[in-house]
Amino acid sequence: MRRVAIVGAGITKFGVREASWKDLVQEAGKAVFDDIPNLDKKDIDSLFVGAAQPERWVFQTHVAPLVAELLGINVTRAIARTEVACASGQAAIRYAWLSIATGLSDVALVLGVEKMNTKFMNVSQSSMINVGNREFDGANGFTAPPFFALAAQRHMHDYGTTKEQLAMVRVKNAEYGSYNPYAQFQKKVTVEKVLESRMVAPPLTLFDCSAITDGAAALILASEEKARQLTDTPVWILGGVQHVDAAHTTNQMGDLSEWVALRKAAKDLYSMVGIEAKDIDIAEVHDCFTISEIIEYEELGFCRKGEGGKFIEEGESYIGGKVAVNPGGGLLSNGHPLGATGIRQAWEVVMQFRGEVPKERYVDGAEIAIAHNLSGMAQLHHLMAYSVNKPQDVKFGR
């Protein structure tokens, strides 16, 4: 397999944007082309677009060719739009990586985009219901906030995690988000403020939840040979895995406070790329809700099962702790435009490795990062590993 690197990264402002879906695509495209000025668009042979529900939010399908037109790209090797709900973005990176690693493509544009704030907000909200099994869980009002509220309730019941510990995740991510000019929310918060914010679905308050967000982000991936021509600061892709158990409906989920598929995915990824949890300097994890980040500490192996609450309380996920988790503010600060989130996580890793972030959220000397994107009711887990150092070899390994 060929080595693959990220050679360019760009992002739009995330938030409630006075911008159309197409505007967001063009903004992210310009941002990534500006980031790598010596790239000739003619060298881009492939395009992968992460987009979760453009059919329902902007009534547009067949979106990848539309992105090609908007950005002036003629695809000659591979094009696709990827959809795995909230992890549609990382899926786009994965297929670009595979296409280049196997030799089909040389240079690929990866773009993730979602326009979620529309004049039909109640339709937008209701559109999240079909991420679960619409017929059997959606019909019971099972959108994301109630599901993750149940996961939080069970984690508190099974392991003694507290609402204050949940709030501490938001406090950390809000602090880093305050130094991220692209984030939807850039204000610091206190534990009290999180606890006092409006109740969405107990035990989760508004500040325990990520937001409905418009935004886009883009990357250029290249083969080793092309990367050498294009940049002095490549970010190497070490590997990536996805684990999805045969579980989409409540009956198949088992215990909600254990994310077994993530535990297995992490073990698989670490073995594939030859690292251990303790080697990770930066973890961009999917904090769609505060409880998610706590369970992820555990299943990614940063602490023992059940001790995620203690891990944040003791500051171990801050920069300078055991592992810097979400130094860009995570989904909680950035917002969560579904198709863009996975790309935004990779963008953060690129900016961190290059040292192009404000010093207050800079992880000095970081060499290894992972990104975790989840989808659905936390049964699907998607992981990638990145490094500043070129991998010795590239194996998919078993």
Partner 1 sequence: MRELRKLRKLELPDTVPLSPILDLWDQQEPSGPDATGIYDFYRNLADGELTTTECKGCGKLLFPPVIICPYCNGNDMEWVRIPEEGELYAFTELKLGAPIIVENYAPFVIAIARFGNYPENGVQLSGMMFDVRYEDLKIGDKVKWDILEIVGPGDKARYWYYFKKV
Task: Please list the active-site residues.
Answer: 86, 336
Q: Which two tokens stand for residue 185?
A: 């929310």
Candidate list 153, 178, 333, 375; residue touching partner 1; CB under 8 A = 153
Cis amide prior to 37 (ω within 30 degrees) = no
Q: Does 16 bind partner 1 (CB under 8 A)?
A: no
Looking at 135, 232, 276, 393, which residue binds partner 1 (CB under 8 A)?
A: 135
Site for partner 1 in 71-130 (CB under 8 A): 122-123, 125-127, 129-130
Name which of 148 and 270 has its Cβ closer to partner 1: 148
Segment near partner 1 (CB under 8 A), from 31-39, 131-139, 176-184, 295-303? 131-139
Q: Is 150 in the site for partner 1 (CB under 8 A)?
A: yes
Size of the site for partner 1 (CB under 8 A): 42
Choose which of 133, 165, 231, 387 interacts with partner 1 (CB under 8 A): 133
Work out which of 65, 146, 274, 321 binds partner 1, going by CB under 8 A: 146
Q: Which is nearer to partner 1, 140 or 229 (CB)?
A: 140
33 Cβ partners below 8 Å, 6+ apart? 8, 10, 39, 41, 71
Helix H or strand E segment including 69: helix 63-71
Determine phi and psi for 136, rounding to 5 degrees.
Answer: -110, -25
How are beta strands 199-201 and 204-205 bridged, if at all?
A: antiparallel
CB under 8 A, 24+ apart: contacts of 25-28: 25/66, 25/67, 25/70, 25/71, 25/111, 25/113, 25/216, 26/70, 26/71, 27/216, 28/111, 28/113, 28/216, 28/217, 28/218, 28/340
Here's the x/- map for partner 1, 200-239, by CB under 8 A: it reads as xxxxx-x---------------------------------
Q: Which residues contact 288 (CB under 8 A, 6 or more apart)?
A: 86, 144, 148, 209, 210, 331, 336, 374
60 lies in the site for partner 1, by CB under 8 A: no
Work out whether 247 is an interface residue with partner 1 (CB under 8 A). no
- Contacts with partner 1 by CB under 8 A lie at 56, 122-123, 125-127, 129-130, 133-143, 145-146, 149-151, 153-154, 157, 198-204, 206, 246, 249-251, 253-254, 256
